[in-house]
Amino acid sequence: MATNELAKIVQDVLAELAKQGLVSPAIKEHVMSAAGMNTTLSPVAEEQMVSLVGADEILVDQPFNLDAIKAMKKVTTARIGIGRAGARPKTASWLKLLADHAVAQDAVFMDVSEDFLKRMNLYSVQTAVENKEQFLTRPDLGRRLSDEAVQTLLQRCEKNVQVQIIVVDGLSSTAIEANVADILPALSQGLKAAGIKVGTPFFVKYGRVGVQDEIAKLLNAEVIISLIGERPGLGTAESLSAYTIYRPNEKTVEADRTVVSNIHRGGIPPAEAGAHLVDLLKQILHAEASGVNLTRIS
């Protein structure tokens, strides 16, 4: 085998080890010496190896513009700079994809834990859905409360409040447990500090966005806001949304809702989102409108 071919093989191996954080200068020198080669890598290979150690899985072989890839990866979770092996993704990229897919599945199929609800002092009611499979296949049932839930809310909830907060599992239990502990106190305390009458928050299991309409009418709440788990993607399974509507009725459409989405540690920080939602709710109460109707008034 020609020396330059051997050098290429050794450099590729070192680059792969560097990606895993397993290469030190001493190891590099030892390996190169054992191969009977100069212990100095080419500038391109050296730059590639250094970048791979701390560049969040940049796997492109000798990238034309490494700085551009680094810059893009800082502002997006999209799978860029992952390289390929022939027509296929590299092993590390493929395994990461499978792992992220598993995380997304867990977010959908796992329930919010009872321990978490207890810590957050949230009592639980359930929609007309009977189990997780039915929840995924019958969205309409997730928009309706069970008969038992209706009775529970009539007995336990204060009526005629200005704002009713509900926490809804939606399509990501992970989003609830990752964000509610920060966003709910910021939201509740901010509203109370503003002199706004707030109902006691509670949790809705197997809920869809539309369940807020029935709850608002049942409790005669002026405004209802749902903190609900978003459908998880392969970039994050922790994203939460806040859906707000002013006095929903039988003519309500989705455009009547005001939505703040992408609430998570890599998007809008939950505590910051809570403060923003307080200001938003003040606007909705003042305008007596939400969604596109609020936009028109503003």
Dig out the tokens for 154 from the structure.
Answer: 């009539």
- Look at the block and give the residue holding tokens 């928050």: 201
Measured distance CA(10)–CA(28) in Å, rounded: 10
Is position 259 annotated in a ligand binding site? no
* In 76-123, alpha helices (H): 91-109, 114-119
Dig out the tokens for 103 from the structure.
Answer: 């995380």
> Which H or E run contains 256?
none
Contact 127, 196 (CB under 8 A): no
Side-chain-side CA neighbours of residue 234 (13 Å):
11
Cα radius of gyration rounded to whole Å, the chain: 26
Contact 257, 224 (CB under 8 A): no
The closest alpha carbon to 70, from 53, 84, 86, 95, belongs to: 53
Contact 29, 39 (CB under 8 A): yes
Measured distance CA(293)–CA(100) in Å, rounded: 38
For residues 269, 275, 278, 279, the Cα torsion angle rounded to the nearest 10 degrees is -100
Beta bridge partners of 125: 204
- Look at the block and give the residue holding tokens 């990229």: 93
Is position 253 annotated in a ligand binding site? no
**What's the DSSP call for residue 165?**
E
Annotated binding-site positions for adenosylcob(III)alamin: 209, 230
Annotated binding-site positions: 209, 230
